[in-house]
Amino acid sequence: MAPWAVLVLMPILILVNGFDSRNGFLRLIHFGQNFQDTRIQEIRVIDFPNLTPWGYDGQFYAQIAVDPSLRHEGLKKATYGELAYRARRIGLPFLAFCLGLGQPFPILQAYALLNFLFWILLLITLNRYRNLNTSRGSSLAISILWSTGTLTSLARSVPDLPAVAFSTWALVSQSQATANLFIGIAALFKETAILSFPRVAWPERKHFNSAIRKYLMSALIVFGPILAWSIYIYFRLPAETMLGSGNFSFPFSGLFHKVQGSVKQLLDGFSHRAWMHLPFLFFELICPISLLIQSVYMVIHFRSFSNAWKTGIGFVILFCFLGAGVWGDQYAYSRVLLPLTVSFNFMIQEQETASSFWSWYLLGNAGMSWMCMETVSRSFITL
């Protein structure tokens, strides 16, 4: 039980930091002060703390959860003109709406806590895949459950972790039909989950013709739900775009500018003796490098028979094309590329011997530790 007790420490600390006696866990949603006047009426009447001027993305998805049909007249204004873009990720808001029985305050509580439910389910899944009482099992759990991408999803109530949970269940599933279903559901939580489609539709050299029907069925199950929902959004919000700005760029252009900018910021931090900010700036440099190492590993270890490789290789392509809108800080790009981190760690579990495992493990995961440090430090400050 010792590994389980240690692993749950991080989500417990986040829950404690996000709780207050009046509003429950609403601090986890991070409503921004500058959006007070644009929130929908059902949210505006709730008196809860505003942590920062701008808050975080979860505040927009939480308001969609109050009316996931998108018929609420105030949603366009409440989502800062990005309702169609945010509404693509309907899975978490819809689930919160159902659990909250259509009542705004319970919906918000459910929305804030659902990430923790998926975290626990993912913990159970990882234990079934590889016993957490072993060194490799505990290392796998730490690399996924304590990564910056995962903990940011918990601490800021965004839909990345639930999507990754469904993709992971597809990865470990022994059933083709079940894997199809899991990826299709994952795409409703985060549309980039469709990049795991090779998991269920990698071309087979033998019996290719007989497999066409299977691939078509997989495509229908995986793409059908998100396509149907996107069509609904299009007709419901015909004048709005579902595309985000600055999310993509020429291959490696975003990565190059990110690393270049991070080096400059780190050097500036030293020159201005901004000692308290230096750890964050350091991880802003090594986090992209760790993700680059994960991508390189996936490329040089081509394994078409590996479910982990097929689940993650699409995110290597995404990594190459990410733009400045995503490379802003590690809270964002570590979440977007969390499926890559999951697949990488599953692969080194499968492929590497004891002599090489820990080298790849440390190189690929060293940059993913910032959110652990921040969570612990905030807990000490609170105490």
Question: Distance (Å, rounded) from C-alpha 118 to C-alpha 165?
Answer: 7
- Is the distance from CB of 144 to CB of 17 less than 8 angstroms? no
CA 371, CA 365: separation in Å to the nearest integer? 12
Q: Which domain holds residue 121?
A: 2-382
Quote the pLDDT of residue 286. 97
DSSP one-letter string for 123-185: HHHHHHHS-TTSHHHHHHHHHHHTSHHHHHHHHHT-THHHHHHHHHHHHH-S-HHHHHHHHHH
pLDDT at residue 272, rounded to an integer = 83
d(CA 368, CA 288): 9
Letter string b/e over residues 335-355, b meaning 16 or more CB atoms within 10 A of that residue's CB: bbbbbbbbbbbbbbbebbeee
133, 170, 64, 104 alpha-carbon torsion, rounded to 10°: -50
The tally of domains found in the chain comes to 1
What pLDDT, on the 0 to 100 scale, is given for residue 381? 67
pLDDT at 375: 93
For residue 110, the model assigns a pLDDT of 98
pLDDT confidence of residue 87: 95
Distances (CA, A) of 266 to 263, 274, 370: 5, 9, 15
pLDDT in tens, the chain (383 residues): 577 888 999 999 999 999 988 889 999 999 998 888 899 999 988 877 777 889 999 999 999 999 999 999 999 999 988 999 999 999 999 999 999 999 999 999 999 999 999 999 999 999 999 889 899 999 999 999 999 999 999 999 999 999 999 999 999 999 999 999 999 999 999 999 999 999 998 876 666 666 788 888 999 999 999 999 999 999 999 877 767 767 888 999 999 999 999 999 999 988 888 888 899 999 999 999 999 999 999 999 999 899 999 999 999 999 999 999 899 999 999 999 999 999 999 999 999 998 899 999 999 999 999 999 999 988 776 65
For Cα atoms 357, 138, 29, give the angle at the middle one, nearest 5 degrees.
Answer: 115
pLDDT the model gives residue 120: 97
